[in-house]
Amino acid sequence: MAKYRRWLFGALGWAFGGPLGALFGFLMGSFFDNATIVRTGQQPSGMTTQGDFRLALLALLAAMMKADRKNLKVELEFIKQIFSNTFGSAVSNEVMQVLKELLQKDIPVQEICIQVRHNMDHPSRLELLNVLFTLSMVDKEFHATEEQLLHKMAYWLGISDKDFQSIYSVHKPDSNWAYTVLEVSPDDSDDTVRKAYRRMAMKYHPDRVAYLGEDVAKSADEKFKKVNSAWEEIKKSRGIS
């Protein structure tokens, strides 16, 4: 339990208050000794901490699972495997307890997303959305309720439609997926596409979210690899050296 406390509540800044703090109040009362929680400030301020990101992620993961209850067991196993691979089975088991508790609660999704938008930088919000997309596709289907909720989340998180479509194309590619990932058109010039690739490689470089922990950086690296794959596919099809 001590390791789990450090993983989730090692440091909390802006997530300690607002709708996220209210939602996770049951954790602080039921699972944790308040003395173990490091509070970095009473009001939202400063850089997002690992604890802030993980609380936001768990809340929105639970909201995604509630959007389509057809495959809860599959989704829970998927999340458990992710945490187990990164932190070990003991931490993973504790995370599952939290998620199961969250699934029984009303989650103020819009309010949480707005809190996140006001306090989390853009690269971290993009990665948050990327992980939510990964969860939505774990059962190999993209249900209408999940897509609608992801659209709303992206809007409330302050993520542009182009960024949304780029992440969408990573998880559900079509014939033009490479261009959509790079946020360009097949009609754009080689120079325009090359510049777009460089811009997207910077935007999604895992170093931009490395401060949130190795697990987040690993997840971000998957999107980064897709950006590179998209560029390689376009180069090959156009004969760009």
| pLDDT tens figures, 48-96 | 888 888 889 889 988 988 876 665 677 777 777 766 655 556 666 777 7
Question: pLDDT grade, residue 2 (50/70/90)?
Answer: very low
Average pLDDT (96-125) is: 91
Judgement on whether residues 171 and 134 belong to the same structural domain of the protein: no
0.85 exceeded by pTM: no
User: Do 131 and 30 reside in the same domain of the chain?
Assistant: yes
Q: What is the pLDDT of residue 158?
A: 97
The per-residue pLDDT for 201 is 94
Q: Quote the pLDDT of residue 34.
A: 43
What local confidence, expressed as pLDDT, does residue 122 receive? 94
CA distances from 34 to 25, 28, 38, 91, 138 (A): 11, 7, 9, 19, 35
* Cα 172-178-184 angle, rounded to 5 deg: 115
Residue 212 has pLDDT above 50, yes or no: yes
Task: Give me the mean pLDDT over the 155-164 stretch.
Answer: 96
Verify that 220 and 177 share a domain, yes or no. Answer: yes
In terms of domains, do 169 and 144 share one? no
Q: Is the same domain home to 64 and 95? A: yes
Last residue of a domain, one of 159, 176, 194: 159
Asked if 170 and 222 sit in the same domain, the reply is yes
Boundary of a domain, candidates 141, 159, 177: 159
**Domain match, 107 and 181 both:** no
Tell me, what's the pLDDT at 36?
Answer: 42
Query: If DSSP codes are grouped into helix, strand and coil, which group holds residue 9?
Result: helix
Comparing 121-135, 171-185, 210-224, the range with the smallest average pLDDT is 210-224
- Note whether 154 and 49 are same-domain residues: yes
Q: For the chain, what is the domain count?
A: 2
Dihedral sign computed on CA atoms, order 161, 163, 166, 172: negative
Residue finishing a domain among 159, 174, 203: 159
Query: Does residue 9 surpass a pLDDT of 90?
Result: no
Same domain for 151 and 179, yes or no, is no
Query: Is residue 103 predicted with pLDDT exceeding 50?
Result: yes
Is 129 in the same domain as 45?
A: yes
Does residue 203 have a pLDDT over 50? yes
Query: What is the pLDDT at residue 178?
Result: 95
Q: Which pLDDT value is given to residue 70?
A: 63
95 vs 206 pLDDT, higher one: 206
3-state secondary structure 148-190: HHHHHHHHHCCCCHHHHHHHHHHHCCCCCHHHHHCCCCCCCCH
**Quick one: pLDDT at residue 32?**
46
Same domain, 166 and 129: no
Decide which of 71 and 146 is more confident: 146
5 and 124 assigned to the same domain:
yes
Q: What is the mean pLDDT of residues 154-178?
A: 93
CA distance 207 to 166: 19
Task: Output the pLDDT for position 43.
Answer: 39
| pLDDT for position 114 | 97
What is the structure's pLDDT at 110?
A: 97
Structural domain harbouring 225: 160-241
